[in-house]
Homo-oligomer: A and B are copies of this chain.
């Protein structure tokens, strides 16, 4: 097995110097069209493959972006990850996607590995229980780091944060439920203590307080399984509850399945609103009302902000909130008038 050709081989074949080949590789405008052509032919003939490791060693930028996601199984994050990756790919960056699986220790290892591989920037939606270790590590590395969708407190000076206006969304959802006749509105899902849980709950909380209504919150993992579980709890222990705002759509869909299982389909006596508006929300039965976050658009914006920062632009704003809006579907409308 013979070794892969290098720019030297290409240069020899094309009858130019290695520097010229390098310029061609970088798409420099200062090489004559004719020369460029012959270099390109030589590359094709030799089946040359660019060695980024070598390039990086000298120029310190690999065109690699890291993406660490707390839970890649959640379609909301999958959508974000795939869109971000495709957008960055369009700009010539490769993305290392990693799933921390809500495990702070694993997350730390993943980030360490990415730094070693010479990523030029990192986008992270931090795992619950992040202790700060990961962020210390990142701070030392001096890399551009964007926090998205979730925040670790008090570090936004170092790592700008972007997310959605969750509080406004949950307030809107709650007001909507009240307008449709609900009076005892539970909040379901979200691990207690996590900042994002607080945000998604706060709008609900404020609206209910302002209206002098009771508050009941069932906290837990943000999964379909917890939704199923919560449905049982609600039916058995809190039969008076007539609506729920869920931490996310997975919980809401689980809750919906749980109610259906118990013979009390959602949308009639029980009204439900989810969060994230994942694709499935419009495909379930009954269709799920949800606070819609334009996650694909958000991913594209994130890519743009990151690229701007990486290529010498300023650090982006510390705390950016994208607007959300409620999409009302059958699950929250209640009995036909």
Contact = CB atoms under 8 A, between A and B. Distances in A.
A283 B1 contact: no
Given A50-B116, A51-B118, A283 B78 contact: no
Contacts of A125: none
A191 interface: no
A41 interface: no
A117 B62 contact: yes
Copies of this chain: 2
B228 A257 contact: no
A261 interface: yes
Q: Interface residues of A: mostly helix, strand, loop or mixed?
A: helix
Interface string A132-145: 00000000111000
Contacts of A207: none
Contacts of A82: 72-73, 99, 101
A284 interface: yes
In this complex, the interface size class of chain A, counting residues with CB under 8 Å from chain B, is 35 or more
B99 A98 contact: no
Given A98-B95, A118-B51, A283 B225 contact: yes
A94 B115 CA distance: 11
Interface string A93-135: 0111111010000100110011111100000000000000000
Interface in A37-75: 47, 49-54, 56-57, 62, 64, 72-73, 75
A110 B53 CA distance: 17
Given A57-B54, A85-B98, A254-B283, A115 B75 contact: no
9 contacts: A51-B118, A53-B56, A53-B57, A53-B118, A73-B75, A82-B101, A94-B96, A224-B279, A256-B285
